[in-house]
Amino acid sequence: MAQFNNFDKNHLPVNDGFYMPAEFSKHSATIMIWPYRTGSWCYGAKAAQRVFTEIISAISKHEKVLVLAGDNQLQSAQKALLHLNNVEILNIASDDAWARDTAPTFLVNGKGALRAVDWQFNAWGGEYDGLYASWENDDEIPYQLCKIKGIDLYNAHPFVLEGGSIHTDGEGTLITTEECLLSQGRNPQLSKSEIEEKLRAYLGVSKIIWLPKGIYNDETNGHIDNICAFVAPSEVVLAWCDDKDDPQYEISKACLDVLESSVDAKGRKIKVHKLPVPKKPVCVAEEDLLGYDFEPGEDVREAGERLAASYVNFYFCNNAVILPQFGGENIDSDREAVGILRSVCPDREIVPIYARDIILGGGNIHCITQQIPLADQCC
């Protein structure tokens, strides 16, 4: 495996033709990580492991799934996934199970070649406002994975970035949020234009659209993958709220204003599909809280805490959309989301999965998955 660094001392990129494809394009595989962290997944992660298994099963019907598990989790993952085909378990350690943010970002060059980017990971804010105190295993995942699979890797350290903070259309346009990428816990030494330079260089994009904020109360400082996602070139879904008394209303309206006044890298106006957030906020219950075991320095939860529930946090796999559902008082909202995604993605199977046990960990289906785009080099 080779490691590349495309920046000289003046941080000038070398353009070698690699770019990040859209998530809705074809995949070689999906990466997931077996959940176990007791400060994220309550009651010993048993419920989380069940829903992870359901999601792995759903994705494996459409593409290969690589599941990472450290020494202490390997037997648990093997036992739970033994009955599934098209699944490979890799012995790679992690601090938690957010593959979107800790696995590498994969690139292709249009000639069948595959490479990956190893961003620096600091648990969503490091010492400033990170969510746990130790993240060394998470930060090593890209190197360990690419070493096993023989995938060439760009070393982007010390630039801090998580996969959930970016979405691309595969045609030169990237969307992100100012709330996240300009946060003090990531790259405070860099200006907005310097951050854009890094994104252009490593991801092969030419146009960056900055939305102001992400979903209300998102502990990742407003990741884009909770509020807006490309579903086709020049076409997005946007988390929406009609209730003017809900703090999400102003956030979504501000994002809509930006999108409606923007064009993509090819000069096209962007079509926006509104995807309403659950009508009833999804909150931590007292019985949930009793099941956590937080480590020193780890962000803790509170009973009644509003979680960043959003249907935009779905995942595209080959020929399907894996869509979170929240149940309870949000059954009607769940059905509405299925209907909207079915109309927006008519050529894909919509696979709704009850995911409250994931949102209790702080993210959702998109946050626990990372795609490897289709290339001649397979995994």
The answer to whether 63 touches 318, Cβ cutoff 8 Å, is yes
> How large a percentage of the chain has pLDDT more than 70?
96
3 pLDDT higher than 60: yes
pLDDT of 337 > 50? The answer is: yes
* pLDDT computed for residue 97 by the predictor: 98
Helix, coil or strand: residue 302? coil
Q: What are phi and psi of 249, to 5 degrees?
A: -55, -55
Whether residue 14 is predicted with pLDDT greater than 70 in this model: the reply is no
Residue 231, pLDDT above cutoff 90: yes
Pick the catalytic residue from 146, 367, 378, 379: 367
pLDDT of residue 134: 94
Alpha carbons 86 and 379: distance in angstroms, whole number = 12
Helix (H, G, I), strand (E, B) or coil at 40: coil
Using the predicted structure, report yes or no on whether residue 70 has a pLDDT greater than 70: yes
User: What is the rounded radius of gyration, in angstroms, for the C-alpha atoms of the chain?
Assistant: 19
Q: Which amino acid is at 340?
A: I
CA atoms within 13 A on the CB side of 232: 14
The span from the CA of 308 to the CA of 215, in Å, is 6
How far is 379 from 149, CA to CA, in rounded Å? Answer: 6
CATH code for residues 3-373: 3.75.10.10
The reported pLDDT for the residue numbered 1 is 57
The predicted structure's pLDDT at residue 6: 52
Instruction: Using the predicted structure, report yes or no on whether residue 15 has a pLDDT greater than 70.
Output: no
**Region 104-126 average pLDDT:** 95
Question: Does residue 177 surpass a pLDDT of 90?
Answer: yes
The predicted structure's pLDDT at residue 9: 34
**111-115, 239-243, 280-284: range with lowest mean pLDDT:** 111-115
Is residue 274 over pLDDT 50?
A: yes
Could you tell me which residue, 296 or 5, shows the higher pLDDT? 296
Closest CA to 225 of 10, 371, 81, 114: 371
Are 308 and 219 within 8 A, CB to CB? yes
* pLDDT for the residue numbered 16: 80
Place 353 in a pLDDT band, splitting at 50, 70 and 90: very high
Residue 167 has pLDDT above 70, yes or no: yes
* Structure confidence at residue 110 as a pLDDT band (50, 70, 90): confident
Residue 2 pLDDT: 60
**What average pLDDT does this structure show over 331-339?**
98
The answer, yes or no, to whether residue 351 has pLDDT greater than 70, is: yes
- What pLDDT was estimated at residue 95? 98
User: Does position 55 have pLDDT exceeding 70, yes or no?
Assistant: yes
Average pLDDT of 13-38?
91
User: What is the number of other CB atoms lying within 10 angstroms of the CB of residue 291?
Assistant: 15
367 part of the active site: yes
Instruction: Say yes or no to pLDDT of 98 above 70.
Output: yes
Instruction: Mark residue 31 as left, alpha or beta (left: phi above 0; alpha: psi -120 to 50; beta: remaining).
Output: beta
Residue 4: pLDDT above 70? Answer: no
User: How deeply is 107 buried, as exposed, middle or buried, from its count of CB atoms within 10 A (0-12, 13-18, 19+)?
Assistant: buried
Candidate from 1-15, 18-32, 136-150 with smallest mean pLDDT = 1-15
Per-residue tokens: 373: 């785009």
